[in-house]
Amino acid sequence: MTMLRKWPAFVGLAAMTVNLAAPAYAFDFKGAHPVLTATPIKHLIVIFQENVSFDHYFGTYPHASNPAGEPKFYAAPFTPWVNNLEQDSLLTNNPNLNSANGVGATNPFRLDRTQAATADQNHNYTPEQQAEDDGRMDLFPKYTGTASTGGAGAFGTTGQVMGYYDGNTVTALWNYAQHFAMSDNAYGAGFGPSTPGAIEVVSGQTNGYQSAVGTKSAAYVADGQGGYTDIGDEDPAGDACSSTTQQMRMLGHNIGDLLNQNDISWGSFMGGFDLSLTNANGTTGCGRSSISTVTGTTADYIPHHAWFQYYASTANPTHARPASVQAIGHSNDPNGALDPANHEYDVNDFYAAVEHGNFPAVAYIKAPAYQDAHPGYSDPLDEQAFIVQLVNFLEQRPEWRETAIVINYDDSDGWYDHQYVSPTSASYSSADQLNGTAICGKGTQPDGLLGLPVNGRCGPGPRLPFMVISPYAKPNYVSHEYITQASVVRFIEDNWLHGERLGGGSSDATAGSLMDLFDFRTPFLNEPLFLDTQSGEPVDHPWPFLLSARVP
Amino acid sequence: MRLGFSGAGALASLMLVGAPAPAVAADPAPAAAAAATGVAARGVSEPQALNAHAYSLRLPKVGPLSVMAQLGGRLFHDRRLSGSGRLSCASCHDPERAYGPPGAGAVVLGGAAGHASGYRAVPSLRYLYRQPPFTIGPDTTADSDNAPVLAQQAQRSLGAPRALKSALDTQAAAANLVPQGGLFWDGRVNTLQQQADGPLFNPIEMGADPQAVLGLLQSAYGDALKALFGPTLFRSPHLALDEAMFAIARYQIESADFHPFTSKFDAWLAGRARFTPAELRGYEAFNDPARGNCAACHLDQPTRDGLPPLFTDFQYEALGVPRNAAIPANRDPTYFDLGLCGPFRTDLASQRRYCGMFLTPTLRNVATRRVFFHNGTFHSLRMVLDWYVNRDLSPARFYPRDAAGHVIAYDDLPPADRANVDTIDAPFDRHPGDAPALSSAEIGDVIAFLGTLTDGYPAFLHRSR
C-alpha cells in the first residue's frame, strides 16, 4: 500500500483524465466563496435526521444477514472494528434480559427490511435516563420500550426497543460508512426528544428556555438560577405553523448569529417550510403533506424541529420567501436590502441555490417529515431515498471537492444502545434519574446562559449515528473520538470563525473535534459514491477486485 | 476509495464519471395530482356510465413476496397452529370470499373441540392495509412523544358538538371528535400483527396453545425464522411468537390478494368499464345526501394522495342493529355486546356515549358476504338496506315488543345506551310517517351498485394475485 502512494505522476494523470472526461470535477481551488477557512472545506451540509440510536442502525455493522430478495451487503476487507453489539455477548446474553423488564426482557434482535415501519419508542428526558440505569444499560424495555403503534402494517412487539437494522435495510448508510468516515463515539448532547437536540446542534446548549404561549410543563425544568432549561418538544414562538396553545422561545444565541456577524452565508433548509407551494396531493401552507409507501401520509413541516425558529434573531415566523435565489444564504439581497427570509428556507431552496451557483457555506437540512427517519411516521427506507438523492446531487457539483456532509440525529427515539458514558454535564433537577433520584452525574452543573451552573443539561445523552461524507473523509474509517451534537457547532467555528465561541453556556468550547474524521494532509480525494435511492446499493458496481484496493 | 490511488482505481473513476447520471428523480406523483384535482372537479350529481374523469390511482406495490411474506403465507394456511388442528386463519377468513366468513352463520365455531361459538361475525381481512391506529378525535400530530392517552382524548371530545355526516362533505366528519381506526369490530388493536394474535389464542376460536405454537414454529419454521431474526430468536418466546404474527401480517400487506382493486368499480374509476343503468342509478343514490347518503361513511372518492377509495371512513357508529338470537351468548338477557364499551375492549367501558358503537367496515366485496353487521343479524343486502331506510319508520318490523306491546327499538343495547344510536344522519333522520329515504326500486339499484365492488372483474384478469 505504501508503495502505491509513491506514484505521484500516475495520480496526476488519473486526475487529469477524469477532468477531461467530466468537467464537473474540474479542480477550482478558488472555490465558490472566496472566504478563508481553516480546512479545504468551504461547504458544510448538516443533514439532521430523527430518532435513531447508534446500535439501532449499526449494531452488527459490517455484518448483514442477507436474506433472499433483499439488497445485499458484504463488508470490504480492512473494515475497521466498530464498538457495537458484536462483543461481550451483547447479542446473546444482553443485560436487558433483566427480569425487571418483564415480558419485554429480550436480547437485541434483527429488524427485517419488511419491518421498516416500526412503532415509535419513548424518548423523553427522564425515561431515557432511567433506561440507562446508572450505567447498567439494562432497563430499555421497561422505560423506553413503551411503544405507540404506527399503521396497520407496522411492526411492534414487547421488547421492540431492542431491535436493530442491518445493511439490508440501512443499506445506503452502511455503504457510505464503507467509503467515508463515521464515528462510533458520538452522542446527543443531552437526553430527551427532538427540540433539545435541534437546539443543541445549532447552539451547543439548551438553557434559556422561555415559555411564550401556554404552559407545557414536560418541555422544561427550572434551572435553579431563576431561569429554565428545555428538555422537551414544544413549538417555536410565533411560527405560523406552531400550535396555538403551546409555544416556547430560546434566549441566547446560536451559530447563525455568529455566521451573520462574520458575513458567512448560511441557511436552514427544512422540508415543508415554503408555505406558498402546493404538493402533488393538493395540500399547501402548513398542511403540506407527502405520502410514504411505507408509513402513509404525514405533514412535511414539523415546527418543533425548527432549530433557528426558536431564536428571535434567526427566526422567520411567517416563512417569508427570499427575495431571489441569489439572496439565499445571505442576510441581505443583492441590492443590499434586508432579505425577508432571514436564512430560513425550504429544502427545495437548497437545491435551487446550489444549482444557481449560490452554494451557502453552511447548510442545516431537515428532510420533509416522511423522510426524516422518525419511527411512526417515517422509516429507514424513506430516509434513505432522501439522503441518497441529496448526496448524489452534491457529488455531481463542481463544489464537491470542497464539501463535507455530516449526517447526524436529534435523538435516539429511546432505541437501545449499549454504550454508557458517565455524564460530563451534571444535573440535579426533579426530572433527572440517571444515577439516582434527581441525580445525573457528579460535581457542579455546567454553566447556563448567565454563566451560572444550571440544571436540565444532563449529558451526554444516548449514542447516535454520526457520519462524514466528503472527499476529505477518511475512507472506510471509524473514529473513536468522543463527540456530541455540539461538535458540529465547534467545527463551524473552527473552520470559518477562527475558533470564535458562542459563550453563554454553550458547550462548543468543550465539545470534541470532528477533525479525526477527516484527512486533509493526504493528497488523494475520495471518489464520489453514487447509490440507488431505493436499494441503497451502488449504482455502478466497481469490479470486485477494486473493492479490495481500499486504503486501510 | 481514493481518486487516482492506483491505475485500476483511475479506470474505475472514469467508469463512474462516465456512467449515466444517477437518478435524482422527483417523486412519482403526477398521477396523484391529476387524481386529486379530479376529485374536486367532479360532482356526484352528473356521473357517467363511462367515467369521464378517469383516475390513475396509487395502488399498493405488487412484487415478488419477501421471504417474510412467504413465511406468513404458509402460516396463514397452516391448520396445525390451532388447538384442534382443524382451523387455519383461512378457515374463517375464506380466500374465496374476500377473506370473510365462509358461510351464512352469524358466528363461526371454534375451540379445541370445534364446538365453541363466537360472539361476533367474521370481518373481511381485505383492504385493511391503510387502517389507521385507534384514536379519538382528529389525527394526532406527528412526533408526539408519548402514546396518546385515550381517556384524555375522550375527555377532550366531551364538549365537542357532533357534526352531521354528509356524503357531500366527508371532511367535516373527519375533523369531528369521534373514535376512529383500529382493528376488530371495536378497534381494540392497531396492527395486523396484533390482530393475528387475537383469534389464534382465543380459546373459542383457533384455541392455540402458545407452547404448542412455539414448538411448531421451531420444528416447521425454525430455519426460516432464524434466518430473518437471528439464531437466538427462540430464547425469547414472546419475540418468536410476535415475529410469526408479523409474518402473517406482512403476508396481508404484500399479497395483492388482500387488496386487489380489481372490481368493476375500479375499472369504472379508471375509465375502462361502463355502469349498467341500474348501477349508475345506485351510484347516484349511494352518494345523494338526501337519499342513501351511504358515502358519508363509506367513502367512495379517491383520497387527495391518489389512493383508491376503501368505502369506509374508519370511524365508529351506533346503528342500533336488532339483537340476533342466533348468537348463543345472547340467550343471557343481561349480556350486551357494546362494541367500544366492551366486553372485549376494556379501556373505554366508562365512556357511555360510545356504547353500541362499532367500526364502519369497507363495502368492497360486501356482496360476497352472507352475514352482515357485528352480530350477523342480517343475511342479505336487501335485508340490510330495508332496515336502513325503515328502521325508524316501521320499527315493529325489526324489533320485538315488550309485555305492554311497545316496540323495543335498538333492543341489542341496554335502555340507557339507546340514545347513542345515530338518528341525525340520513337515512337515519326519518320518523314514522316520513317517506323512506330509498324506494324499493332504489334499494335494488344500490344493491346493483354494491355488486360493482366485488373484486375479479374481467377487465382485471391480467392482474395477478
ipTM field: 0.85
The minimum CA-CA distance between B433 and chain A, rounded to whole Å, is 44
Best residue of A66, A79, A112 to probe chain B, by most B CBs closer than 10 Å: A112
Residue B242 with chain A: CB contacts under 8 Å: 156-158
Q: Which of A17, A149, A374 sits opposite B133 (nearest CB)?
A: A149
Q: Which DSSP string do the residues of A272-333 spell out, in sequence order?
A: T--TT-B-TTS-BGGG-EEEETTTEEEES--GGG-GGGGSGGG--TT-PPPSSGGGTT-SB-
The minimum CA-CA distance between B105 and chain A, rounded to whole Å, is 28
Q: Which of B69, B128, B238 sits opposite A114 (nearest CB)?
A: B69
Q: Which of A148, A232, A297 sits opposite B305 (nearest CB)?
A: A297
The verdict on A112 touching B (C-beta cutoff 8 Å) is: yes
Do the beta carbons of residue A146 and residue A104 sit within 8 Å? no
Q: Is the pLDDT of residue B291 over 50?
A: yes
- For residue B171, the model assigns a pLDDT of 52
Pairing of strands A266-270, A289-292: unpaired
The verdict on A245 touching B (C-beta cutoff 8 Å) is: no
Tally of CB atoms within 10 A around A26: 11
- The residue ranking higher by pLDDT, A17 or B330, is B330
Please give the grid coordinates belonging to residue A32. 465558490
The verdict on A249 touching B (C-beta cutoff 8 Å) is: no
- The residue ranking higher by pLDDT, B117 or B454, is B454
For A60, which DSSP code? Answer: T
Residue B1 with chain A: CB contacts under 8 Å: 179, 475, 526-527, 542, 546, 549-551
**Chain A residues 190-219 within an 8 A CB cutoff of chain B:** 193-194
Are A158 and B7 in contact (CB < 8 Å)?
no
| Range name among A85-99, A135-149, B270-284, B450-464 with the lowest pLDDT average | B450-464
Consecutive H or E run containing B135: strand B135-136
Residue tagged 404458509 (cell numbers) = B74
Residue A475 with chain B: CB contacts under 8 Å: 1-2
The verdict on A16 touching B (C-beta cutoff 8 Å) is: no
Consecutive H or E run containing A164: strand A163-164
- For residue A287, the model assigns a pLDDT of 94
- For residue B155, the model assigns a pLDDT of 62
Q: Is the pLDDT of residue B13 over 70?
A: no
Least Cα distance to A219 among A201, A238, A199 occurs for A199
Are B3 and A159 in contact (CB < 8 Å)?
no
DSSP SS3 for A370: helix
Are A531 and B22 in contact (CB < 8 Å)?
yes
Residue tagged 382493486 (cell numbers) = B261
Nearest chain B residue to A472 by CA distance is: B2
Q: What are phi and psi of A98, to 5 degrees?
A: -40, 125
Are A67 and B227 in contact (CB < 8 Å)?
yes
| Range name among A509-513, B53-57, B203-207, B251-255 with the lowest pLDDT average | B53-57
The minimum CA-CA distance between B425 and chain A, rounded to whole Å, is 29
Residue A392 with chain B: CB contacts under 8 Å: 22-24
pTM for the whole structure: 0.86
Are B146 and A148 in contact (CB < 8 Å)?
yes
- For residue A295, the model assigns a pLDDT of 86
**Angle, CA B158 vertex, CA B154 and CA B159 arms, to 5°:** 145
The verdict on A348 touching B (C-beta cutoff 8 Å) is: no
Do the beta carbons of residue A91 and residue A107 sit within 8 Å? yes
Q: Where are the alpha helices (DSSP H) in A69-212?
A: 125-132, 140-143, 171-179, 194-203
Nearest chain B residue to A280 by CA distance is: B33
Are A281 and B33 in contact (CB < 8 Å)?
yes
- For residue B28, the model assigns a pLDDT of 37
Are A14 and B1 in contact (CB < 8 Å)?
no
Q: What are phi and psi of B365, to 5 degrees?
A: 65, 20
Q: Which of A70, A106, A549 sits opposite B239 (nearest CB)?
A: A106
Nearest chain A residue to B14 by CA distance is: A18
Q: Which of A302, A389, A396 sits opposite B143 (nearest CB)?
A: A302
| Range name among A150-154, A320-324, B159-163, B452-456 with the lowest pLDDT average | B159-163
Q: Is the pLDDT of residue B24 over 70?
A: no
- For residue A546, the model assigns a pLDDT of 40
Consecutive H or E run containing A211: strand A209-213
Are A67 and B25 in contact (CB < 8 Å)?
no
Best residue of A124, A291, A390 to probe chain B, by most B CBs closer than 10 Å: A291
Are B4 and A15 in contact (CB < 8 Å)?
yes
> What is the pLDDT confidence band of residue B230, given thresholds at 50, 70 and 90?
confident
CA–CA distance, A26 with A46 (Å, rounded to integer): 24
- Looking from the CA of B233 toward its CB, the CA atoms found within 13 Å total 23
Residue A164 with chain B: CB contacts under 8 Å: none
Residue B254 with chain A: CB contacts under 8 Å: 114
Residue tagged 468537467 (cell numbers) = A23
Q: Which of A17, A152, A550 sits opposite B1 (nearest CB)?
A: A550
Q: Among positive and negative, which fits the CA dihedral A453, A456, A458, A463?
A: negative
Residue tagged 431571489 (cell numbers) = A324
> What is the pLDDT confidence band of residue B21, given thresholds at 50, 70 and 90?
very low
Q: Where are the alpha helices (DSSP H) in A255-346?
A: 255-261
- For residue B209, the model assigns a pLDDT of 92
Least Cα distance to A522 among A137, A159, A40 occurs for A40
Q: Which of B4, B128, B143 sits opposite A152 (nearest CB)?
A: B128
Q: Which of A15, A158, A291 sits opposite B3 (nearest CB)?
A: A15
The verdict on A114 touching B (C-beta cutoff 8 Å) is: yes
Q: Tens-digit pLDDT profile for chain A (552 aa)?
A: 333 333 233 333 333 333 333 322 222 334 445 678 999 999 999 999 999 999 999 999 999 999 999 999 999 999 999 999 999 999 999 999 999 999 899 999 999 999 999 988 999 999 999 999 999 999 999 999 976 777 788 888 878 999 999 999 999 999 999 999 999 999 999 999 999 999 999 999 999 999 999 999 999 999 999 999 999 999 999 999 999 999 999 999 999 999 999 999 999 999 999 999 999 999 999 999 999 888 888 999 999 999 999 999 999 999 999 999 999 999 998 888 999 999 999 999 999 999 999 999 999 999 999 999 999 899 999 999 999 999 999 999 999 999 999 999 999 999 999 999 999 999 999 999 999 999 999 999 999 999 999 999 999 999 999 999 999 999 999 999 999 999 999 999 999 999 999 999 999 999 999 999 999 998 888 999 999 999 999 997 544 434 433 333
- For residue A206, the model assigns a pLDDT of 97
Are B235 and A107 in contact (CB < 8 Å)?
yes
Mean pLDDT, rounded, for B359-384 = 97
Are B1 and A69 in contact (CB < 8 Å)?
no
Are B131 and A151 in contact (CB < 8 Å)?
yes
Cα A131 to its chain centre, rounded Å, is: 22
Q: CB-based burial of residue A317 (10 Å sphere; 0-12 exposed, 13-18 middle, 19+ buried)?
A: middle
Residue A147 with chain B: CB contacts under 8 Å: 147
Do the beta carbons of residue A300 and residue A370 sit within 8 Å? yes
The verdict on A10 touching B (C-beta cutoff 8 Å) is: yes
Are B30 and A296 in contact (CB < 8 Å)?
no
The verdict on A532 touching B (C-beta cutoff 8 Å) is: yes
Nearest chain A residue to B232 by CA distance is: A92
For chain B, the maximum distance between any two Cα atoms, rounded to a whole number of angstroms, is 101
Are B246 and A69 in contact (CB < 8 Å)?
no
